[in-house]
Amino acid sequence: MDSPSDGVTSEIQGPNGCTNTQGSCAWASPEGGQKIAIGKHIFCNRAVNMKNIVAVGFDMDYTLAQYKPETFESLAYNGTVKKLVTNLGYPNELLDWSFDWTYMVRGLVLDKRRGNILKMDRHKYVKVAYHGFKLLSKDEKVATYGNTLVRDAFDEPDYALIDTLFSLAEAYLFAQLVDFKDNNPGKISEEKDYFRMYRDVRAAVDLCHRDGTLKQMVAADPKRYINEDDSIVPMLQMLRTSGVAVFLVTNSLWDYTNVVMNFLCGPQKLDSSSSLTLDWLKHFDVVITGSAKPKFFHDENRANLFAVETDSGMLINTDNGSPMAQVGGPSLELPDQMPDKPYKVFQGGSVGHLHKLLNIESSSQVLYVGDHIYGDILRSKKVLGWRTMLVVPELEKEVELLWYLRDTRKKLISLRSERDEIEDQIHHIKWSLQCECLDAHEAEKASSKLNLLEVQCERVRVTHQVAQKVFHEKFHKVWGQLMKTGYQNSRFAHQVERFACLYTSQVSNLGLYSPAKYYRPSEDFMPHEFDVLSL
C-alpha cells in the first residue's frame, strides 16, 4: 500500500470515522466540541485535570511560533557555513554546500569522537548508525557500540543530543563535514578531528545568534519564516475566558518577541502583514522575555527581574513588578516610572518571580507548553512539578500515516508471530535429532521436515524484513518512524513518555478541547497481557 502524498493526507479517515481535514473547529465555537482530526489529538501520558490548572504558560520559538524549515533552517545553515569559512578558517568549498532540511530528524545522537550519527531505542541500543552519510553495516555497528563490558551512557561531552528542530541544521552540517574530511585529505587541518569540527559548528551557530543576523532577517519578513496559525488567538481567548491565567516565557528578548507575537496574534493588514502594536499583550497576563531557560526553572536562581517599558524597551529593576531603586543609585520618582496599569512584560528573573506575579500556590496548578524536552519540559516537570505539554510538529504526519498503514502493521505483527512459531518447531526437531533415539526412518523424516521448515523460516524472515523496511521508509527514507526503532520505542519517544504529561502536534490543538477537560492516560500494558487481551 502506498502512503499518501502531502496533498492527500487530508483525506485520511480517522479512527472516529471523521475525515482528517486541516480545519478542526475551536471548542468554544458553535461547531466545536465534536470530532477532532486524528493528527490534532492531544495524547496523554499522565493525568491532567484542567479544572485544577490555574495558569497555562507557553514558550514562543517552535511552540507558538512554528518556523518554516525550508526557509528558517536554511537561513541558519547558510549563516553557520559562512561563519565556519570567514571566522574559523574552513575551506571556501563549503560556501557551495546546500542544506537538505528533510534529512535529519529529532531524537538522533551525534558521536562527536567518531563522526557518527545514531538512532537508538529506549534502552540505548544503537539501531541505525551512519558515519557522515555512509550507513554502517550491522557488524560495524556491533563492533563499535555493542562489544563493551560497560554500557555507554551516550551523554556529553562525547555525544550531542539532537532534541530540538533548531539542531537539525547543525547535525546535517556535521555529517557533511565528516564526509568532506574523509574524502578530501588535507583540505581540513589534521588538528581538526571530528570532535573539534563539531565544536566549531556549535561555535559558528552561537556566532550567528550573537550577531543577531537570524532574528533581524526574521523580523524583516516574519511571514517568510514563520507559519501563520489563526487558531492561536481563539485558543488563548478561550483559556482566559475560562478563568485561567496565561503567560509567556521565552529566551528571546523583548524587541524580537514583540515582532513575532505581533505576527502571530496582532492585527493583520489586508496583505497579511502585521504592524507593531501592543494589542497581542491582551491575551497574556504575564510575559517573561530573556528568561535564560532552563536556568529560569531553578528557584535558587537569583537573577534580577526587570520590568520592560514596552514602548522604549527600557529595563526597570523591579521587585515582583514594582519599581525599586538599585543599590547606590538615584531614588526613583515613582509617578514618572509607574505606568497607569501594572507591568506585564518582564526580563530575566526566575520561576519564583513568576509564581508571585501570578499568585500561584502550588506548582501542580501550572501547565507549561514547550518544544524542547530538556530546556522546557524536563526541567519544568522534574524540578518544579509543573504539568507539561510537549509540541511535536512531526507527530501530525506520523499519526496520520500510522492510521493509514494500520493493516500493514497488522501484517508485520502476523509475520513476526509466524516466524516465532516456525523457529519453535525447528528447535524442537533439532532437539529430537540430537537427544532422542530415533530409528533411521524417523530421523530421515525429521530431517526432511527440518529442511522444509528452515526454507519456510528464511522466506518469512526475508518477507518480514523487507516489509518492515518499506513500512519505516514510509515515515522517513533514512531514519524511519520518529517514535520507533523496529518494534521498540525510540530514545526520543522514551523521553516524551518520561517527561511530557501531554503531547501534541501543534500548540493550537489545545483550543480544540474543553478548558475543563480531564486528560486521562490510556491503560499501560505489560507484554504478558497482550496475548490474553487479543484473544
Question: Which residues define the annotated binding site for Mg(2+)?
Answer: 59, 371
Contact 287, 344 (CB under 8 A): yes
User: Phi and psi for 65 in degrees, rounded to 5?
Assistant: -100, 110
Q: Is 230 a catalytic residue?
A: no
DSSP 349-404: --HHHHHHHTT---GGGEEEEES-IIIIIIHIIIII--EEEEE-TTHHHHHHHHHH
Extract the annotated binding site for GMP: 61
Using CB atoms within 10 Å of the CB of residue 239, give its burial: 0 to 12 exposed, 13 to 18 middle, 19+ buried: buried
Strands (E), 76-201: 108-111, 116-120, 126-131, 134-135, 159-162
Q: How far apart are CA 523 and CA 528, in angstroms?
A: 14
Beta bridge partners of 247: 57, 286
Residues 320/357, Cβ–Cβ less than 8 Å: yes
Is residue 61 part of the annotated active site? The answer reads yes
Distances (CA, A) of 346 to 57, 203, 254, 326: 15, 29, 8, 17
Contact 246, 236 (CB under 8 A): yes
The answer to whether the CB of 223 falls within 8 A of the CB of 273 is: yes
Q: Could you tell me the sign of the dihedral formed by the alpha carbons of 33, 39, 43, 48, in that order? A: negative
Q: What is the largest CA-CA distance in the chain?
A: 108
The one catalytic residue among 59, 111, 163, 200: 59
Contacts of 504 (CB under 8 A, 6+ apart): 40, 41, 42, 43, 389, 390, 391, 392, 395, 510
Q: Is 488 exposed, middle or buried (0-12, 13-18, 19+ CB in 10 A)?
A: middle
Specify the DSSP element, H or E, that contains 489: strand 488-489
Cβ count within 10 A of residue 102 = 13
| Catalytic residue selected from 6, 61, 111, 439 | 61
Question: Angle at Cα 294 formed by Cα 152 and Cα 198, nearest 5°?
Answer: 50
Q: Cα(67)–Cα(215) distance, rounded to whole angstroms?
A: 12
- Dihedral of alpha carbons 220, 221, 225, 227, sign: positive
Regarding beta strands 366-370 and 55-58, do their DSSP bridges make them parallel or antiparallel, or are they unpaired? parallel
Rounded to 10 degrees, the C-alpha dihedral 319/355/374/227 comes to -90
CA distance 45 to 520: 8
Q: Which amino acid is at 109?
A: V
Annotated binding site: 59, 61, 371
- Known catalytic residues are 59, 61
